[in-house]
């Protein structure tokens, strides 16, 4: 497979690839993500193959508008709404009870789904022009997460349809993952938003 190198002017082309079930590496503010249509189980399965990622490791679904969350989850609790208002768009991922349209490939068979609203404008434009995107980091499983298009190319050339070169990632570390699918919110992975930030002010999340 020939891997196309695209830039911010090629969002339409990248969206077409996504709509046809293909894989596009896109910049986000954390690290580069390897994106596919989050609602197409076959497309999502290709992500696992390209990365060599075990199928039991669930993926994060990326949105570009808060209203998109309604069809993806069964519940959007008040605590999650407050956190979304405060930290989205940005490097916070929230685990919520999933709706039936989320394929098992995304959730690894769990009853929950991870959702994030990235602040990177290229990622937002690609999602807006296509659909919510499932996207883990765009590296071979076990390798460091890529923070520029050259890193992605070194791991993924010939394995994916396209890479959108959007320069260096600003944050450079993964998103913070918290679950709101349990009675008491829990931190699952530290990242770009700190626990201190999460517990400050009126959201009052104590993890
Ligand atoms: P990555 O895509 O490799 O940056 O990692 C995504 C992280 O989110 C991993 O640590 C996953 O285990 C975690 N994750 C994704 N979906 C879920 C879920 N439904 N429940 C718990 N953890 C999840
Ligand atoms: Mg990763």
CATH of the domain at 73: 3.90.870.10
Supply the pLDDT for residue 202.
Answer: 58
Q: Is the pLDDT of residue 200 over 90?
A: no
Supply the pLDDT for residue 199.
Answer: 85
Ligand 1 pocket test target in 177, 182, 186 with most atoms within 8 Å of CB = 177
Residue 172 lies in a domain: yes
Mind listing the pLDDT tens digit for each residue in 179-196?
999 988 999 999 999 988
Model confidence band, residue 37 (pLDDT cutoffs 50, 70, 90): very high
Whether 180 lines ligand 1, by a CB cut-off of 6 Å, is no
Whether 112 lines ligand 1, by a CB cut-off of 6 Å, is yes
Supply the pLDDT for residue 120.
Answer: 98
Residue 207 lies in a domain: no
Q: Is the pLDDT of residue 206 over 70?
A: no
Q: Is the pLDDT of residue 82 over 80?
A: yes
Q: Is the pLDDT of residue 47 over 80?
A: yes
Q: Which residue has the tokens 């993806």?
A: 72
Supply the pLDDT for residue 183.
Answer: 86
Residue 206 lies in a domain: no
Supply the pLDDT for residue 99.
Answer: 98
**What's the mean pLDDT when you consider all of the chain?**
95
Mind listing the pLDDT tens digit for each residue in 110-134?
999 999 999 999 999 999 999 999 9
Supply the pLDDT for residue 205.
Answer: 66
What value does the mean pLDDT take over residues 91-95? 98
Residue nearest to atom 13 of ligand 1 (CA): 58
Q: Which atom of ligand 1 is nearest to the CA of 60?
A: 15
Residue 46 lies in a domain: yes
Q: How many domains does the chain have?
A: 1
Supply the pLDDT for residue 4.
Answer: 98
Domain containing 92: what range?
Answer: 4-200
Ligand 1 pocket test target in 60, 102, 123, 141 with most atoms within 8 Å of CB = 60
Residue 88 lies in a domain: yes
Residue 140 lies in a domain: yes
Whether 94 lines ligand 1, by a CB cut-off of 6 Å, is no
């Amino acid at each position: 497979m020939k891997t196309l190198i695209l830039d911010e002017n090629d969002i339409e082309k990248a969206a077409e690839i996504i709509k046809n079930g293909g894989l596009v590496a896109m910049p986000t503010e954390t690290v580069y993500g390897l994106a596919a249509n989050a609602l197409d189980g076959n497309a999502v399965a290709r992500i696992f193959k390209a990365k060599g990622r075990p199928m039991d490791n669930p993926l994060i679904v990326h949105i570009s508008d808060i209203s998109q969350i309604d069809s993806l989850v069964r519940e959007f609790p008040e605590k999650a709404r407050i956190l979304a208002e405060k930290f989205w768009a940005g490097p916070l991922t929230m685990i919520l009870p999933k709706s039936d349209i989320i394929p098992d490939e995304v959730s690894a068979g769990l009853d929950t789904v991870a959702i994030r609203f990235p602040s990177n404008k290229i990622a937002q434009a690609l999602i807006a022009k296509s659909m919510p995107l499932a996207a883990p980091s765009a590296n071979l499983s076990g390798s460091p997460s890529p923070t520029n298009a050259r890193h992605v190319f070194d791991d993924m050339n010939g394995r994916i349809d396209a890479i959108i070169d959007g320069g260096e990632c600003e944050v450079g570390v993964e998103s913070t993952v918290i679950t709101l699918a349990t009675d008491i919110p829990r931190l699952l992975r530290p990242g770009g938003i700190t626990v201190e930030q999460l517990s400050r002010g009126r959201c009052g999340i104590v993890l």
